[in-house]
Amino acid sequence: MHLLSALAFRSISDLTKQYGPLMRLKLGEVDTIVVSSRDLAREMLKQHDPCYADRPDSIGIKVLWYNYRDIAFSPYGDYWRQMRKICIMELLSPRSVRSFASIRRDEVSNLISSIRTSAAIGEPVNISESIFSMMSSVTCRAAFGKVSKDKDTLIKILRDGIQMAGGFEIADFFPSSLLINTFSWTKIRLLMMRHKLDLILDDLIRQHQLSLAKIGSGSEEGDRARKGNGEFGNEDIVDVLLRLQETGELQFPIRKEDIKAVVYDMFSAGTETSSTAMDWAMAELMRNPGAMAKAQAEVRRVFNDTTIMVMGDNDPNLKYLKLVIREALRMHPPVPILPRASREERVIDGYVIPANVKVLVNNWGMQRDPAYWTNPDSFEPERFEECSKEFLGADFDFLPFGAGKRMCPGITFAMASVELVLAQLLYHFDWKLPNGAQPESMDMIENPGVTASRRDSLFAIPTPYKNSA
């Protein structure tokens, strides 16, 4: 245990260099298997997929994600399947994602306006904060029909929670210790955060119920055309879950706690990972002025002042920008370790992997392994011109969205925002670091937690592009 630093994915990558791609660590009471080669990852996540489709326990997740009643951390099985299907159909399908295009454009346009205000007075912009706040508004509007009035408190709970949810808290290592689990400061902090989260989510559900009752009564002209609380008069994900709860049509009846778990899941998964990906991509571009110039030239060649504002999703002309995004996801996967647990005993590569052990697929380590990548620590988007590796779960040394049954269902939702935001930031502004800082002095270290955001916020001074209105 003493060999693990707060950035566990870095420590286990160091240990892998010494002990090989399949390690068994005894962390307190918890048996942990670490997998760091693409062949083993393929074998476990593809050939033996359902066997490794559980998630491990973590005190932070248990408390903040409602006893694993969400999707991301719930045990593999019918309840998980049911809830995952609802979210994919209502929020994450390509059709739903397309329907949110106006929300994305609206929020990005607010972002660009606020950066313009800073540019006018020559002030540096906190790009990390701006992106995070914008992305949380996109998620709130798409999932809950409007920006929550408690968005800032939700963000605070999310950020603190993520740091405590990596599965490397002392209470995670001694799950059977009543003393540690009842009185640990971690547990007390988590319960306080959960209390605040409950108040916010209870209020969100109550507001939805009140408004649905009003819509149902058809009392006002506007209400009669509406089906739910979604921005376009449709049902949002909270409405859908409330309706399914009422009709009781499901195999697993939905309780209020389940709705809160899924709502918080969508907010957290939708906001944190996508903004982390954008932040790293911007940070790498700032550190690599050649790549920045190339990406900017492309965006400015493809768009002009009118077309940039109506830019669609996944524009095939943004070839270099797509390489930049892929390279940023390779070097800085927002989820650095795929957290899994084994459901049965299996023999992998001649070793017995027991049932019910924690399995960590060391994504970060594989994506920087010199056996698979030339110059793995340098940011070279051009590498993907030659190499056909994709992040769709078939190339097992490049798994930023995971693979197999538990693979991320939010890729389309995420990529629509990541490409749009980066294109707009690059089109409208030239960027330089404040106080004459040099690109190579930028610190590229991560925050600890279940996701790996950049530890330092990215500050930069924007200069509006001459053709940008």
State which residue, 8 or 71, has the beta carbon closest to ligand HEM. 71
Contact indicator for 451, 272 with CB cutoff of 8 Å: yes
Q: Is position 338 an interface residue for ligand HEM (rule: CB under 6 A)?
A: yes
Q: Which stretch binds ligand HEM (CB under 6 A): 31-39, 102-110, 228-236, 410-418?
A: 410-418
Provide the minimum distance between the beta carbon of 363 and ligand HEM in the complex, in angstroms, as a whole number: 7
Q: From residue 101, give the alpha-carbon distance in Å to each of 123, 362, 392.
A: 30, 34, 22
Q: From residue 359, give the alpha-carbon distance in Å to each of 16, 27, 353, 409.
A: 14, 12, 9, 21
Chain residue whose CB lies nearest ligand HEM:
402
The residue from 8, 403, 420, 425 that contacts ligand HEM (CB under 6 A) is 403
Q: Is position 84 an interface residue for ligand HEM (rule: CB under 6 A)?
A: yes
Provide the minimum distance between the beta carbon of 330 and ligand HEM in the complex, in angstroms, as a whole number: 11
Q: Is position 269 an interface residue for ligand HEM (rule: CB under 6 A)?
A: yes
Give the span between the Cα atoms of 78 and 62, in whole angstroms.
Answer: 19
Q: What is the dihedral of CA 209, 210, 212, 217, to 10 degrees?
A: 140
Q: Which stretch binds ligand HEM (CB under 6 A): 17-25, 59-67, 95-103, 330-338?
A: 330-338
Q: Is position 230 an interface residue for ligand HEM (rule: CB under 6 A)?
A: no
State which residue, 212 or 408, has the beta carbon closest to ligand HEM. 408
**Amino acid found at 222:** G
Q: Is position 321 an interface residue for ligand HEM (rule: CB under 6 A)?
A: no
Provide the minimum distance between the beta carbon of 331 and ligand HEM in the complex, in angstroms, as a whole number: 12
The residue from 90, 107, 258, 265 that contacts ligand HEM (CB under 6 A) is 265
Q: Is position 413 an interface residue for ligand HEM (rule: CB under 6 A)?
A: yes
Q: Is position 136 an interface residue for ligand HEM (rule: CB under 6 A)?
A: no
Q: Is position 408 an interface residue for ligand HEM (rule: CB under 6 A)?
A: yes
Task: Tell me the three state secondary structure of residue 68.
Answer: coil
Contact indicator for 355, 372 with CB cutoff of 8 Å: no
The residue from 161, 228, 334, 449 that contacts ligand HEM (CB under 6 A) is 334
Q: Is position 401 an interface residue for ligand HEM (rule: CB under 6 A)?
A: yes
Q: Which residues are paired to 459 by β-bridges? A: 126
| Residue 161, CB-side half-sphere exposure with 13 Å CA sphere | 28
Q: Is 140 annotated as a binding residue?
A: no
Tokens of 285: 């571009």
State which residue, 167 or 402, has the beta carbon closest to ligand HEM. 402
Q: Is position 406 an interface residue for ligand HEM (rule: CB under 6 A)?
A: yes
Task: Tell me the three state secondary structure of residue 433.
Answer: coil
The residue from 277, 308, 331, 426 that contacts ligand HEM (CB under 6 A) is 277
Q: Which stretch binds ligand HEM (CB under 6 A): 14-22, 219-227, 397-405, 423-431?
A: 397-405
Contact indicator for 167, 339 with CB cutoff of 8 Å: yes
Q: Is position 410 an interface residue for ligand HEM (rule: CB under 6 A)?
A: yes
State which residue, 268 or 462, has the beta carbon closest to ligand HEM. 268
What number of chain residues touch ligand HEM (CB under 6 A)? 26
Give the span between the Cα atoms of 215 and 229, in whole angstroms.
Answer: 9
- Widest Cα–Cα separation across the chain: 70
Q: Which stretch binds ligand HEM (CB under 6 A): 167-175, 295-303, 411-419, 457-465?
A: 411-419
Tokens of 427: 């089109």
Provide the minimum distance between the beta carbon of 86 and ligand HEM in the complex, in angstroms, as a whole number: 11
Give the span between the Cα atoms of 405 and 407, in whole angstroms.
Answer: 6
Provide the minimum distance between the beta carbon of 74 and ligand HEM in the complex, in angstroms, as a whole number: 7
State which residue, 60 or 270, has the beta carbon closest to ligand HEM. 270
State the distance between the two ends of the chain, measured CA to CA, in whole angstroms: 55
The residues, any chain, with a CB within 8 Å of residue 118's CB and separated by 6 or more, are: 124, 125, 462
Provide the minimum distance between the beta carbon of 195 and ligand HEM in the complex, in angstroms, as a whole number: 24
Contact indicator for 245, 239 with CB cutoff of 8 Å: no
- The DSSP H or E segment spanning 139 is helix 127-144
Dihedral sign for Cα atoms in the order 388, 391, 396, 397: positive
For residue 183, how far is the Cα from the chain centroid?
31
The residue from 400, 448, 449, 462 that contacts ligand HEM (CB under 6 A) is 400
Q: From residue 367, give the alpha-carbon distance in Å to each of 286, 336, 403.
A: 21, 9, 14
Contact indicator for 270, 135 with CB cutoff of 8 Å: yes
Q: Is position 273 an interface residue for ligand HEM (rule: CB under 6 A)?
A: yes
Q: Which residues are annotated as a binding site?
A: 408
- Give the residues lining the site for ligand HEM (CB under 6 A): 71-72, 84, 92, 265-266, 269-270, 273-274, 277, 334-335, 338, 400-403, 406-410, 413-414, 418
